[in-house]
Structure 1
Amino acid sequence: MLLKFAATAAFVASASAHATFQQLWINGVDAGSSCVRAPASNSPVTDVNSADLACNAGAATSANVCTVAPGDRVTVEMHQQPGQRSCGSEAIGGAHYGPVLAYMAAVSDATTAVGSQASWFKVSHMGLVSNNPDYFGTQVLNDNCGHYTFTIPNISPGNYLLRAEVIALHVASSAGGAQFYPACFQLSVTGSSSGSPPTVKIPGAYSAQDPGILIDIHQTLTDYVVPGPTPYGTTVPAVATTAYPATATWNTALQPSTVPTTTPAPGATGIGTA
């Protein structure tokens, strides 16, 4: 009976810990859900060959495009339930440990582009940040009320899709066990840069056998290979050998409860970034 109860509790925890990236910030200015392609549910994608891996299942396009420039600090925000912004619960719970990643793809029209047909480059990732003890990017995400911040690299102006993703590895010790939580945002990049990073296809960039996808994280790890290409235009810190400070760098006291649906004015400044 005890084993049955434990199994049931684990299933309930796993089911209730699903999540989606829902909101966007630009230089600390809250763009809310104004340019997100909101997934139809908070359930994960589990097939690395599915077209849903690009922007998630049933993600409707937005009528809006958020304006950014190279050098801007962009923050994606994840929560478990639609429209949620509270810092009172984990962004993704249930010990869904794994990396946080961000990709971009140049497209002709961000409001109509098909994510699975786009050519993507990675702009940032956060995998295993410490191995003493093991501490993953999703744990840092939870420390910061679901916020993950990165810099727009020097890339050519135009329309882009931004793809934020968590890969949860709590049941990834067998093929098909990894859970992917992607969502896309619609951007317009301004400026006069001319960067042209190498690209990959999604699906196509991941294999079910990749060492960062087929992995048992319920053991002590010394390193972790984040799936996909090397981030463009940035250097990823080495895995720390000291305990990672589980403290928020996002100002949770200023976390809003409402969700804007209109895009912010270009050049506006806000509360800061995580």
Structure 2
Amino acid sequence: MISKTILYGLTLASSISTTLGHWTYSRLIVNDEVVGEPWQYIRRHNNSNAPLTNVNSTDFRCNVDAQAAETYTVRVGDEVGFGIDEHFGHPGIQQVYLSRAPEGVAAADYDGSGGWARVYSLTSSPTNSTNSSSTNDEEEEVLTWATHNMETFRFALPTSTPPGEYLLRAEGLALHAAHKWAQAQFYVSCAQIKVVAGEEDVTNNLGADVREEEEDLGPLVTIPGVYRGDEPGVLIPVFWSFLTNYTAPGPALWPEGTQEQHVVEQL
């Protein structure tokens, strides 16, 4: 018979092991620095560092019971990103979605029910590692991940982003159990930003502003609705350490021509 002490120890060890590798996003990065305090510009949620697995819940937008934060002003072309507590702890990818609040609605009052554009995707590293555990006669090259142990990431806010107030949504997708239905783990937080014209704007001789033409965001998706749960990239065909190719889920990246990234830019 197992003693109560041993049983308690096994239960505690199991509980601890389920949280290892989990993370959340609590800090906004603009250009070369973390701005403000943790959660000052990120909507604080009540989900600690636990993952989301239900892609059909409204919690999938900004996480569980996310509360409005302050809004930080950025310029088009600025580098924006997130700080991660503690670090990206599972194999997988990092993506970012952007949603503009309706005209006359502040980001703090926006519930994220409008359209979202995918503006950033960080996936596999540019070089693969060798899967030494392969049972095949010939070793297979498998994917490694650019997100491995990253603590921050950032990317350039498109210069064609229309001015306005936005939710900027970080979405980390952990794949270590994603070969099973509804076991892909999503880690989500939303920052609130106000986008204004860039410092590089100049005035021509006629007094008109000269700037890169603004583009409507798109293709747009709704959240929930962006994923079904069975598409490539969310439900993977084999255990992650045997993956030799990967297709990131989501709509086409915006603006048109934006490329998937394979090297992370950290602070």
TM-score range, shorter chain: 0.7 to 0.9
Pick one of 12, 24, 34 that aligns with 1:20. 24
User: Where does residue 236 of structure 1 map in the other structure?
Assistant: 260
> What do residues 51-108 of structure 1 show as CA deviations (whole Å, max 9, x unaligned)?
011100021111x21111211111211114xxxxxxxxxx133xx2111011110003
RMSD (Å), alpha carbons: 2.5
Match 1:170 to one of 163, 167, 176: 176
Q: Does structure 2 retain, via aligned residues, the 8 Å contact 1:39–1:56?
A: yes
Say if 2:162 and 2:195, in contact at 8 Å, map to a contact too: yes
Pairwise CA distance, 1:222? 2.3
8 Å CA contact retained: 2:24, 2:189: yes
Q: Is the aligned partner of 1:101 residue 2:95?
A: yes
- Given that 2:154 and 2:265 are in contact with CA atoms closer than 8 Å, whether structure 1 keeps it comes out as no
Q: Given the superposition, is the C-alpha separation of residues 29 and 92 from structure 1 closer, same or farther in structure 2, using an over 3 Å criterion? A: closer
Q: 1:44 aligns with which of 43, 47, 51?
A: 51
Q: Is this contact kept in 2: 1:66–1:188, CA < 8 A? A: yes
Question: Is the alpha carbon distance of 1:16 and 1:219 closer, same or farther for their aligned partners in structure 2, counting shifts above 3 Å?
Answer: closer
For 1:60 and 1:39, locate their aligned partners in 2 and report how far apart those are by CA, in whole Å.
6
* 2:65 aligned with 1:58: yes
Unaligned runs of 5+ in 1: 81-90, 251-272
Give the percent of matched residue pairs that are identical in Structure 1 and Structure 2.
32
Report the residue type matching 1:179 in the other structure.
Answer: Q
Among residues 90, 107, 111, which one is paired with 2:108 in the alignment? 111
Instruction: Tell me by how many angstroms 1:220 deviates.
Output: 2.6
Q: Larger radius of gyration, structure 1 or 2?
A: 2
State the partner residue of 1:136.
145
Secondary structure of the structure 1 residue equivalent to 2:186? strand
**How far off its partner does 1:131 sit?**
5.6
Give secondary structure in 1 for the equivalent of 2:147. helix
Kindly report structure 1 stretches of 4+ aligned residues shifted beyond 2 Å: 4-14, 216-222
CA distance, structure 1, for counterparts of residue 84 and residue 114 of structure 2:
23
1:188 is aligned to 2:184:
no
After TM superposition, the score normalised by the length of structure 2 is 0.76
CA-to-partner distance for each residue in 1:120-166, whole Å, 9 max, x for gaps?
Answer: 00110111224621212431xx24xx111111111110100000010
Q: Does 1:157 align with 2:163?
A: yes
SS of residue in 2 equivalent to 1:111: helix
The amino acid of 1:105's aligned partner reads: S
Structure 2: distance between partners of 1:131 and 1:11: 35
